[in-house]
Amino acid sequence: LIDKGQAEHSVVTTCAYCGVGCSFRAEMKGQEVMRMVPNKDGQANHGHSCVKGRFAIGYATHPDRITTPMIRARISDPWRVVTWEEAIAHVASEFKRIQARYGKHAIGGITSSRCTNEETYLVQKLVRAGFGNNNVDTCARVCHSPTGYGLKSTMGESAGTQDFDSIESTEVVLVIGANPTDAHPVFGSQMKRRLRAGARLIVIDPRRIDLVRTPHVQADYHLKLRPGTNVAMLNSLAHVIVTEGLLDEDFVARRCEPEPFARWRALVAQDKYSPEAMESVTGVPAEMVRDAARLYATGGNAAIYYGLGVTEHAQGSTAVMGIANLAMATGNIGRKGVGVNPLRGQNNVQGSCDMGSFPHEFTAYRHVGDDAVRHSFEQAWGVTLLAEPGLRIPNMFEAALDGSFKGVYIEGEDIAQSDPDTQHVTAALTAMECIVVQDLFLNETAKFAHVFLPGSSFLEKDGTFTNAERRVSRVRKVMDPKGGYADWEITQLLAQAMGYPMHYTHASEIMDEIAALTPTFHGISFDKIDELGSIQWPCNEEHPLGTPVMHVDEFVRGKGHFMLTEYVPTSEKVSTEYPLILTTGRILSQYNVGAQTRRTANVMWHDEDRLEIHPHDAEERGIAEGDWVGIVSRAGDTVLRAMISERMQPGVVYTTFHFPGSGANVITTENSDWATNCPEYKVTAVQVTRVNQP
């Protein structure tokens, strides 16, 4: 239900789904949400919303919510309902036992975009200060970790350069590996309005996404490349810009380091990266690539928007650097209408990275090996901290399988469904002795858990989320937590039980600590967000009202740094046994693993994952619309129903991963980005055959 009658009061809060971070008014009667109304004063959404946000209250009050702590000795045992005191004492006792037996590095924590900034900060603090190691990671490992690495290496800050409204000054929109109308619907609509008003559009995507051709928008160029060839394409575009004299030489001379630029220029100028030479690799006609490069470089203010179609590759970080190189080479940085804009997938994936939940970084992307930074945290937290990075999520799995990692505290992330190569993940989970899942529902990961702690939805707690444009917005409590505690309070209870003191009485005190320890957050507090509506970091003495556009007079790192972006083909190859490439993505009405949206009215629009396949490939295999098809990869196999679609190119198939039984990640492999281990979800060689209904 979305409308139940007259409200008595309303509370402004932030959508807990995608990286647009829409502001809503929760209209309330007592503790009951009558309806969610998009906030006309919302600075990210200006009164708009999509079908996900409007229906979000459905999952918060769903009968599947688990509201009592539960424990079990073995995962084959039934759950036993226990008190909070018993549950917390049990976790602390188990974690201490594991550390005493296997060493202090045998446990860790995983946090998620579904946590607020304050909750994420506390989880990494618990791990570093309470567990005594750096084994903390976040769901960004499997989505935008290459963004952090690539943008920091080139421009000095691990975040997008612009605000959403910057697009109102854009004349050329380049979308690569993103599907904004499905994954970021409110910003996708803003982009379409700008395109209808005359901005030109280049789409680089293996699929014909909606933006390519709708009743009111048509892309000037759709570079329908083969999956896995982003870096080849970016180097081809750069080749045209360099060899046809389309560089912004003045910008590069003033703003960028000369030697790295010269090396990059020499690299991409090589004949091997000409669109003609790359045509057999990317599959895109050379003349179209040349025209698109000319438009991007000379069409006026040009902005690049990208998503997981860039990052989730073996060369994800290289592609992010290639995008930053293009923007710097053409002077499209540092003012409204231009820039490099990662469309962060989940509501708080930017925040989960900002808050130091990586094994190698404290808040604001500062390395744990930096003595001055580490000492500042040691002084504030009253402990000695380790200078060596801890385990990333894939390293935790490896360590679990070799017997050295035995316990994990997972807040808000369903790794058994969302991470690739499910068989590998479940083998690792099965090898552990104490898995603690803190969530709303008994998700796929909870099947392997020994302790379940009932978490709180975004309606049940105070805090902040940070959206894709670095905008920190308030999440406000409108009802009491169904399990009794907000997530940050549970983390605090666990810290106390582990022997590390935490005494916060409100989430605002956690933000005050974050601000004190984090230069880009020095000026942020709950009171100031209440006053301004929201704040885009950096917000500090230099930028007291926040920063919509970064890198204005100089890059955050000083001079822009061109990174070398040699194209290296992925090792995941098609063969006679696996002749098609599977790529994965999302659909408008569902969100991530679907644990929330499947429990709302959104299932009306989409109630199963399907395999999109081109008519030629379907005909060759005798597959008709709606037939069951078996999909086999080198990692595993699953069965889905077929959807015949001309959006696909021949040789490429596509599916989503919103439903646990569909097994999309049973097929995906362990291949990952060379720099960050972000999985190569976008390229899996498969065979598809018609099968009988399973």
Give the tokens for residue 409. Answer: 């505290």
Min dist CB 51 to ligand SF4, Å, is 7
Where do contacts with ligand SF4 occur on this chain (CB under 6 A)?
A: 15, 17-18, 20-22, 45, 49-50, 52-53, 184-186
SS (H, E, C) 575-644: CCCCCEEEEEECCCCCCCCCCCHHHCHHHHCCCCCEEEECHHHHHHCCCCCCCEEEEEECCCEEEEEEEE
Min dist CB 678 to ligand SF4, Å, is 22
Strand order in the sheet with 172-176: 221-223, 200-204, 172-176, 302-306, 339-342
In the bound state with ligand SF4, the residue whose beta carbon lies nearer, of 58 and 185, is 185
In the bound state with ligand SF4, the residue whose beta carbon lies nearer, of 434 and 468, is 468
The answer to whether 164 touches 44, Cβ cutoff 8 Å, is yes
Min dist CB 473 to ligand SF4, Å, is 10
Q: Closest residue to ligand SF4, Cβ-based? A: 53
In the bound state with ligand SF4, the residue whose beta carbon lies nearer, of 20 and 314, is 20
Q: Which long-range contacts (CB under 8 A, 24 or more apart) does 622-628 make?
A: 622/690, 623/688, 623/690, 627/690, 628/690, 628/691, 628/692, 628/693, 628/694
In the bound state with ligand SF4, the residue whose beta carbon lies nearer, of 47 and 569, is 47
In the bound state with ligand SF4, the residue whose beta carbon lies nearer, of 19 and 334, is 19
Secondary structure element (H or E) that encloses residue 298, with its range: helix 286-298
In the bound state with ligand SF4, the residue whose beta carbon lies nearer, of 105 and 658, is 658
In the bound state with ligand SF4, the residue whose beta carbon lies nearer, of 226 and 344, is 344
Cis bond upstream, residue 538 (ω within 30): yes
Alpha helices in 217-285 (DSSP H): 230-243, 249-255, 258-269, 275-282
Min dist CB 11 to ligand SF4, Å, is 16
Min dist CB 46 to ligand SF4, Å, is 11
Collect all residues with Cβ–Cβ distance below 8 Å to 502 and sequence separation of at least 6.
Answer: 122, 125, 126, 491, 492, 495, 496
In the bound state with ligand SF4, the residue whose beta carbon lies nearer, of 52 and 226, is 52
Give the tokens for residue 405. Answer: 């990692």
Min dist CB 377 to ligand SF4, Å, is 32
In the bound state with ligand SF4, the residue whose beta carbon lies nearer, of 128 and 586, is 586
Min dist CB 429 to ligand SF4, Å, is 29
Q: Which residue carries 């006026």 as its tokens?
A: 300
Min dist CB 185 to ligand SF4, Å, is 4
Residue 681 CA: distances (Å) to CA of 340, 411, 669? 22, 23, 8
The answer to whether 537 touches 353, Cβ cutoff 8 Å, is no
Collect all residues with Cβ–Cβ distance below 8 Å to 374 and sequence separation of at least 6.
Answer: 362, 368, 385, 387
Phi first, then psi, for residue 655 (nearest 5°) are -150, 175
The C-alpha angle with vertex 235 and arms to 232 and 240, in degrees rounded to 5, equals 130
Q: Residue 372: exposed, middle, or buried by beta-carbon count in 10 A (0-12, 13-18, 19+)?
A: exposed
In the bound state with ligand SF4, the residue whose beta carbon lies nearer, of 46 and 557, is 46
Distance CA 168, CA 481 (A): 40
